[in-house]
Amino acid sequence: MKTTNLIIGAGISGLTYANFTKDDYLLVEKEDRVGGYCKTIMRNGYVWDYAGHFFHFNTQELKDMFLKKMREEDIIYNQKNTKILYNGLLIDFPFQANIHQLEKQEFIDCLYDLFQKEEKEKYDNFLDMLYGKFGKSIVEKFLKPYNEKLYATDLRNLDVDAMGRFFPYADKEAIIRNMKEEKMNSYNSSFLYPKKGAESFIQILYQNLDKEKVLLNTSVVKIDIEKKQATLSNGEVVEYERLINTMPLNHFLELLGIRKDLLKEMSYNKVLVLNLGFDKPSPSMKKEHWLYIPDANCNYYRVGFYNNILGEEKLSMYIEIGYGKDEEITKEEIQKQLELTLHNLRKSGIIDETMKLVDYEPIVMSPAYVHINTETTKKIDSLKEEFQKEGIYTIGRYGAWIYNSMEDSMLKAKELAEMLNTKKS
């Protein structure tokens, strides 16, 4: 079999590339359905994604690509309503911009440290940057404990710009202004969501493709870079001109059997997602879309409420729990975390003793968030340049080993397809 573009992985990046290439392609997906991490489970009246996926389109072309193929009544538009559950209080997100909502003494501590902070021209790591930008109290009350739970690592291991534009920076003047004006905006202050879950958008990308050029339940088991040949799990050998990889870069390097030194350096967390469906509404969470939980004594770092997003009554949630890359998430561990989660949900008043868990679905994401480190990133960028000389392009959040949004991944895939289309012509 021959093809111009052999695409590994039918997640959002692989599907987008296939949509925009003008050349022949073969899209290979190891699972029995497309979507990668952007899949949806619909069961017993609940709608759950593999994790919380909310679309914040800034590119009209991509937005129209989906909305023109969906009925208006099948889309929910929301102004983001997110809170931080801190010492029994619901504080507006981001924490650093809303310290005036804390109890008086804690507010004074945060404000004092904000004005006493010692900024540097150059910071050594992510934690160093947090202390320099926000001062001791804001960091130790929220930014440090929350991000340690999220990334499941020492924040000194992360690059200063580990979160890029997604980190809500704010200088002290903006923080002071927000105490009265409340005008702190983030990149995702509003979002849209399909009533049947995020996979609705994925299916639109899929329906645009020639299904004969998509192989499900099929994986690439061997790649000969010199011969530009890939052996598939079904025994077929595919000759390609370009290899478009969207599988996680660490798994791709393992497949190729190269750069074991780099593999050891590449760090990431795993996330256990518990999707939960209850028989009643939450007694306390009526409007919130998701909550951030910095408390080190609570097992999860974030909880989201699908029912509030969709305007439904019965509580439907996702719970996110972070793990280090070398930690195992066994069936026993999942059961332990489910029981602990229910305990903590009751303790915080999100559920009560009268509520019954009707259904749940655990999802393990590995990798979930890549740990951005300056020196490792330099080596990865150099490797990508070497790959391109061999006609190999590794893209997507995990293929490129970067921190970005779904829209970013789509844009990069589209740009690459259009660039290679132009080169070929």
Tokens of 72: 């208006």
In a domain, 48, yes or no: no
**Looking at the 3D structure of the chain, how many domains does it have?**
3
d(CA 329, CA 222): 28
Contact predicate 57/246, CB 8 Å: no
d(CA 262, CA 199): 33
In a domain, 278, yes or no: yes
Contact predicate 251/399, CB 8 Å: no
* Domain co-membership, 250 together with 385: yes
- Quote the pLDDT of residue 78: 87
Residues of the chain with pLDDT below 70 are 53, 165-166, 169, 182-188, 423-425
| 176: phi then psi, degrees, rounded to nearest 5 | -65, -45
Q: Is the peptide bond before 94 cis (omega within 30 degrees of 0)?
A: yes
* Domain co-membership, 146 together with 234: no
Reported as a single tens digit per residue, the pLDDT across 38-82 is 999 999 999 999 877 677 777 888 888 888 888 889 998 888 899
In a domain, 44, yes or no: no
- Quote the pLDDT of residue 60: 84
Q: Residue 319 half-sphere exposure, CB side, CA atoms within 13 Å?
A: 24
d(CA 124, CA 139): 16
Cα dist from 220 to 10, 183, 237, 255, whole Å: 13, 49, 10, 8
In a domain, 73, yes or no: no
Tokens of 19: 């949509």
3-state secondary structure 112-143: HHHHHCCCCCCCCCHHHHHHHHHHHHHHHHHH
> Which is it for strands 46-49 and 40-43: parallel, antiparallel or unpaired?
antiparallel
- Beta carbons within 8 Å of 324's beta carbon, 6+ residues apart: 152, 153, 269, 270
- Quote the pLDDT of residue 423: 62
Reported as a single tens digit per residue, the pLDDT across 372-419 is 988 999 999 999 999 999 999 999 999 999 988 888 999 999 999 999
* Domain co-membership, 261 together with 385: yes
Show which of 349, 365, 381 is a domain's final residue. Answer: 365
The boundaries of the domain holding residue 230 are 2-36+199-265+372-424
- Quote the pLDDT of residue 424: 56
Closest CA to 244 of 31, 402, 390, 37: 390
* Domain co-membership, 145 together with 219: no
- Quote the pLDDT of residue 177: 82
Give the burial class of 391: count Cβ atoms within 10 A of its Cβ; 0-12 exposed, 13-18 middle, 19 or more buried. middle
* Domain co-membership, 103 together with 159: yes
- Quote the pLDDT of residue 236: 96
Contact predicate 99/115, CB 8 Å: no
In a domain, 64, yes or no: no
- Quote the pLDDT of residue 169: 67
